[in-house]
Amino acid sequence: MSAIFIHLSDIHFGQEKDGGKLATNTDAKDCLIKDVQSELEAKGVKASGIIVTGDIAYSAQEEEYAAAGAWLDQLAKCAGCDPKSIQLVPGNHDIDRGAINEALSWKLQLIREKGDALLDALLDDDKDRESLFTRFEAYRNFAEGYGCDLDTQGEYSADYYVELAPGRILRFVRLNSALICAKKDPKGGLILGARQRIIPEVDGEEVVVLMHHPLPWFLDTVEARKYIENRARVVISGHEHYPSVEVTPVEGGRDLMMLAAGATAPDAVDGKYTYKYNILEFDWDQETDSLAVTINPRTWDDYRKRFSRDEEFLAGKESPHILASPNFRKSAPPALEDYQHTAAAPKVNAIVNPISGAGKAEMDFGARARTLRLKFFRDLNDAQRLKILVDLAGLPDDMHKLDHSLERAFFARILKKGLGDELAAAIEIALTNPEDHQ
């Protein structure tokens, strides 16, 4: 059975400037949830997870992420998947433009001019590195709750895979394409950086890359494309608000799919742009030992005021797309009896992202710990989190705001000390009595 993911991009919570637009967008988002539920029920399946390729918020404010979190919880419930199975990458609207002062603006411009050499030097310096991530503060707390924290070393982030069949793994790799986004970014003016471009290659695993900006938006597009064409099987992006799909034979026995999403809530709904999302199915094609991808593009029918299948997008496009997958063929083929035994339910694994640097996890998270992490980082404000850390991690009472890396470290320390019950109770008290922690 295929692994099914609901794919959203450019949701833009907080973009509405008047009540009418807010009501219209809210109605479309409510209809999207109903459409997801209807489509999955018609197939008798549940989703394996939800993918959001950036621009969750419009101006990267806490209240926008609070609204996004509540809506994503509803979507996950109706899709039949765990809210902790949501995967996120940041977009240009997930940076707080108000946090870009003159010094940081100058630094970002200098990175564009100097390229990888300067970016690497800044990422290697603690203060300079953290200054690059001040723009992501609200997003970083929100994404941390889902285990999709930003890799502040400037490397790719990967913590999620699906076993389509024994020995046939689909791994999701997240890239921060907004790493050097400023207040206004020209096409071709961004940088992924050398550390993010290097995508792992493992026998038996094919990679799906999640990123907000399509490849043409980068200064290092040529070098990035070399890695992506030879290491990834699918690239899913957003940003441009208009959907497209292209399958390219890279070489004999190796294909690449580039899938660009339409906007779930575009800036304006007109003749070209409207509400869109995708239902994606990933499966192992046993006959060719390849990755099979089926796209069910959903678009807003303005006449009927509901979502329907986007037949225009699909016109002339093969479905499912069978992608020649060399990394599958490098591993021993699954035994037929093993595949038949597991085909009813693809095995989904959320491998927790590193809690500390250097690419090594401080501890392994179980399901309960992931639930606590979601509530702690996504649903609590700075004061609430600090009080809990002071009470349970032994910090001084006069401790002021911690930086994000220290919050992560002390949160992990509480769990390592076996204080999960106390942490759960403290979180519930904070959520029940928010006025006590302002």
When the pLDDT of each residue in the chain is averaged and rounded to a whole number, the result is 88
Q: Is the peptide bond before 90 cis (omega within 30 degrees of 0)?
A: no
The per-residue DSSP string of 110-162 comes to HHHHHTHHHHHHHHTSHHHHHHHHGGGHHHHHHHHHTT----TTS--EEEEEE
Higher pLDDT, 151 or 188: 188
pLDDT confidence of residue 434 = 67
pLDDT confidence of residue 66 = 94
pTM strictly above 0.95: no
**pLDDT reading at 275 higher than 90:** yes
Using DSSP bridges, classify how beta strands 234-237 and 290-301 pair: parallel, antiparallel or unpaired.
unpaired
pLDDT confidence of residue 216 = 94
The per-residue DSSP string of 276-289 comes to EEEEEEEEEETTTT
**pLDDT reading at 19 higher than 70:** yes
Q: Could you tell me which residues come within 8 angstroms of residue 54 by beta carbon, excluding any fewer than 6 positions away? A: 9, 10, 88, 89, 90, 91, 92, 93, 94, 177, 178, 211, 212, 213, 238, 239
For residue 406, name the pLDDT band (cuts at 50, 70, 90). Answer: confident
**Is the CATH number of domain 3-350 3.60.21.10?**
yes
pLDDT confidence of residue 15 = 93
pLDDT confidence of residue 321 = 93
Higher pLDDT, 66 or 269: 66
Amino acid found at 16: E
Higher pLDDT, 371 or 92: 92
Q: What is the mean pLDDT of residues 15-37?
A: 94
**pLDDT reading at 352 higher than 50:** no
pLDDT confidence of residue 365 = 62
pLDDT confidence of residue 152 = 75
CA distance 436 to 388: 12
**Contact status, residue 94 vs residue 56, Cβ threshold 8 Å:** yes
For residue 271, name the pLDDT band (cuts at 50, 70, 90). Answer: confident
For residue 340, name the pLDDT band (cuts at 50, 70, 90). Answer: low
Q: Where are the domains of the chain?
A: 3-350, 367-437
Lowest-pLDDT range, 67-81, 117-131, 231-245? 117-131
pLDDT confidence of residue 172 = 93
pLDDT confidence of residue 184 = 86
For residue 247, name the pLDDT band (cuts at 50, 70, 90). Answer: very high
pLDDT tens, residue by residue, 280-334: 999 999 999 999 999 999 999 999 999 999 988 877 666 799 999 999 999 888 8
Token pair belonging to 94: 């997930």
pLDDT confidence of residue 99 = 92
Q: What is the mean pLDDT of residues 46-51?
A: 94
CA pseudo-torsion sign 410, 412, 413, 418: positive
**pLDDT reading at 359 higher than 50:** no
Q: What is the mean pLDDT of residues 122-126?
A: 89
Q: What is the mean pLDDT of residues 182-194?
A: 91
pLDDT confidence of residue 94 = 97
State percent of the chain over pLDDT 70.
Answer: 91
